[in-house]
């Protein structure tokens, strides 16, 4: 059992803190945001993430997890410090490291004993060196520390599961002492023989970006194949199924859609390109994926406009789903944003419903009409667009939908509805590479 401080209580920090406590460690989740810490102390979770509430309070009740806004004390009291603060997109696509370096400063100033400093946030290659340098300069030279890069591979919506049962754990360290410490931290995963890759710090930093950029490329690739299917007599689902059974390709992340969003792929692809540019090496494949993704989001707007004969002015369009994917309330870089912007610019009335992301989108676009059920959102609509693949939309009662709308026109940007059923109910429809 190790004493751990996790600095930053966002999607990554809170899930990691709770997961590390579940592994038997004593964890303090610390954040300078006193409001967030107060919420957590009052048994409230500031974000929507399935299973998070259960794991957090199970560990709080077991006395292994606590919350504090005293970052300095949390550092002093711990053997291992996880840096899990945000790294938003900064200038020219590079990551903004100010929060990470601020934590490094706090660690340097509070290094009272040997500690392992471990970065979970996605940081550009070379950041580990910067962090070590900052801590060394600020701390007492006789106090030792080791640095570890331990990138996270958590998907929003299944982050708790991904933390407890990961495909792999990557530990980038410069010496055995740090690796041994991490072995204790992740003891249950070592015991159940999770693949653990022990490597250098910079290799670990690169693995994170290389993985995310690869998945982004894979999605853009199948989206572009879907676009070819749109023009010929082909079904992209059959294409991706046949591709996916080839073990070299694998079926995952071959689902076409309205373009990838979220806080990771859009930002990380740009950050990797920024690093490649600095190093003078090209990254044309990833550049292509970013361009294709932008076009994919625009293509969804064009598809809807085409369904509406390019006239949405004064019409009511109902969007079902706002989050960048199902099982999250996160709307960052969601394809629904592009859609709402274009519809509002064309003077359409925009009705929306999302099971958990309504409030977040309303904050961004005050003009949209937010509803508490899909039935209310689609009433008298001239067109319906499915923007997120929530389960409740998969089983949409099309007979009921047809009764509620003004015109039976539907854009299924997530390919979750059945073409035959849509035709049977007399819908005019479009999707991504299936029609
Ligand atoms: C992603 C990675 O999957 C995680 O491994 C990583 O830890 C995380 O970024 C991060 O860097 O923190 P996340 O952004 O939560 O996780 O979401 P994904 O499930 O990867 O989906 C990203 C986007 O791709 C979504 O917009 C989703 O709708 C889209 N997608 C995904 C597709 O369009 N098709 C697919 O087949 C899969």
179 CA from centroid of ligand 1 (Å): 29
155 CA from centroid of ligand 1 (Å): 6
Predicted TM-score of the model (pTM): 0.95
Q: Which domains, from first to last, does the chain contain?
A: 3-199 (3.40.50.720), 295-430 (3.40.50.720)
Would you state the pLDDT for residue 95? 83
pLDDT one-digit tens code per residue, 244-257: 999 999 999 999 99
Phi-psi region for residue 380, left (φ > 0), alpha (ψ -120 to 50) or beta?
left
User: What is the mean predicted confidence (pLDDT) over 42-53?
Assistant: 92
Residue nearest to atom 5 of ligand 1 (CA): 153
Q: 161: buried, middle or exposed (CB in 10 Å: 19+, 13-18, 0-12)?
A: middle
88 has pLDDT over 90: no
pLDDT one-digit tens code per residue, 89-105: 887 777 899 999 999 99
Task: For ligand 1, pick from 84, 219, 269, 413 the residue to mutate: most ligand atoms within 8 Å of CB.
Answer: 219
| String of DSSP letters for 403-430 | HHSSS-EEEETT--S-HHHHHHTT-EEE
| Of 140-154, 292-306, 331-345, minimum mean pLDDT range | 140-154
pLDDT band for position 214 (cuts 50, 70, 90): very high
Reduced to 3 states, what is the DSSP secondary structure of residue 199?
Answer: strand
Q: What is the H or E stretch that residue 20 is in?
A: helix 11-22
301 has pLDDT over 90: yes
Would you state the pLDDT for residue 56? 96
140 has pLDDT over 90: no
Residues with CB under 6 A from ligand 1: 122, 152-156, 212, 215, 219, 253-255, 257, 260-262, 264-265, 268, 324-325
Residue nearest to atom 24 of ligand 1 (CA): 260
pLDDT band for position 1 (cuts 50, 70, 90): confident
Question: Whole-angstrom Cα distance, residue 244 to residue 254?
Answer: 8
Neighbours of 9 (CB within 10 A): 28
Task: For ligand 1, pick from 19, 162, 257 the residue to mutate: most ligand atoms within 8 Å of CB.
Answer: 257
Question: What value does the mean pLDDT of the chain take?
Answer: 96
């Amino acid at each position: 059992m190790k004493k751990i401080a996790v600095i930053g209580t966002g999607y990554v920090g809170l899930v990691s803190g709770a997961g590390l406590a579940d592994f038997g460690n004593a964890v303090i989740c610390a954040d300078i945001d006193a409001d967030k810490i107060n919420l957590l102390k009052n048994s409230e979770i500031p974000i929507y993430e399935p299973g998070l509430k259960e794991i957090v309070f199970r560990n709080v009740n077991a006395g292994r997890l606590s919350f504090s806004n005293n970052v300095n004390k949390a550092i002093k009291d711990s053997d291992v410090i996880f840096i899990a603060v945000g790294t938003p997109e900064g200038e020219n696509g590079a990551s903004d490291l100010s929060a990470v370096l601020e934590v490094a400063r706090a660690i340097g100033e509070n290094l009272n004993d040997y500690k392992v400093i471990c970065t979970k946030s996605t940081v550009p290659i070379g950041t580990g060196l910067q962090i070590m340098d900052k801590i060394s300069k600020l701390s007492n030279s006789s106090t030792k520390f080791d640095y570890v890069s331990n990138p996270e591979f958590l998907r929003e919506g299944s982050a708790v599961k991904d933390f407890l049962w990961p495909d792999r754990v990557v530990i980038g360290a410069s010496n055995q002492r740090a690796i041994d410490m991490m072995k204790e931290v992740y003891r249950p995963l070592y015991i159940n023989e999770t693949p653990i890759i022990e490597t250098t710090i910079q290799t670990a930093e690169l693995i994170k970006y290389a993985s995310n950029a690869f998945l982004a490329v894979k999605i853009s690739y199948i989206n572009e194949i879907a676009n070819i299917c749109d023009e010929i007599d082909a079904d992209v689902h059959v294409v991706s199924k046949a591709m996916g059974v080839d073990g070299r390709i694998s079926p995952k992340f071959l689902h076409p859609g309205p373009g990838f969003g979220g806080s990771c792929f859009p930002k990380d692809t740009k950050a990797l390109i920024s690093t490649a540019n600095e190093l003078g090496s090209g990254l044309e494949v990833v550049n292509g994926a970013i361009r294709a993704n932008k076009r994919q989001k625009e293509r969804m707007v064009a598809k809807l406009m085409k369904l509406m004969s390019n006239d949405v002015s004064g019409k009511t369009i109902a969007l079902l789903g706002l989050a960048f994917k199902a099982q999250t309330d996160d709307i960052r870089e969601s394809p629904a944003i592009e859609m709402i912007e274009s519809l509002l610019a064309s003077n359409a009335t925009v009705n929306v419903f999302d099971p958990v992301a309504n409030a977040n989108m309303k904050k961004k676009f005050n003009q949209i009409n937010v509803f508490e059920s899909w039935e209310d959102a689609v009433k008298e609509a001239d067109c319906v667009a499915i923007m997120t693949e929530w389960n409740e939309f998969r089983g949409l009662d099309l007979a009921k939908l047809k009764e509620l709308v003004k015109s039976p026109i539907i854009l299924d940007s997530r390919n979750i509805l059945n073409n035959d059923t849509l035709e049977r109910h007399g819908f005019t429809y479009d999707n991504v590479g299936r029609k």
